[in-house]
Amino acid sequence: AQRIKLATELARKSTGSTLYILDEPTAGLHFDDIRRLLQVLNALVDKGNTVIVVEHNLDVVRDADWVLELGPDGGDLGGYLTFEGTPEQLKKDKKSWTAKYL
């Protein structure tokens, strides 16, 4: 349903001031479809829109302009801001679990 809503929204004329919030939009997508989705999301940003994505896919993390990492674990041991910055800065963060896989 999220993808249908996104496709419908993309068919509209962009105002350049829309906030998009997507929860794991790559779930179940083929690698080629993930690349296409990233192109679409980047096009939305290029038009002046804001896109916030909650995602575990490392391709999406690498392609982001800004990353917030929550942790250090899940449940009661998680939910704390453990990193904020660019993907390049994240790669250098020795405390980040995500950085180990980028």
- What are the pLDDT digits (tens) for 22-53? 999 999 989 998 999 999 899 889 989 999 99
Which CATH number does the domain housing residue 58 bear? 3.40.50.300
Task: Give yes or no: residues 20 and 53 share one domain.
Answer: yes
* Helix (H/G/I), strand (E/B), else coil: 75: helix
Same structural domain, 56 and 78: no
Are 46 and 7 found together in one domain?
Answer: yes
The 10s digit of each residue's pLDDT in 64-79 is 999 999 999 889 999 9
Pick from 50, 59, 48: nearest CA to 25? 59
Alpha-carbon gap, residue 102 to 91, rounded angstroms: 6
Total domains, the chain: 2
List C-alpha distances in Å: 78 to 27, 69, 74.
22, 10, 4
Q: Which residue has the higher pLDDT, 63 or 4?
A: 63
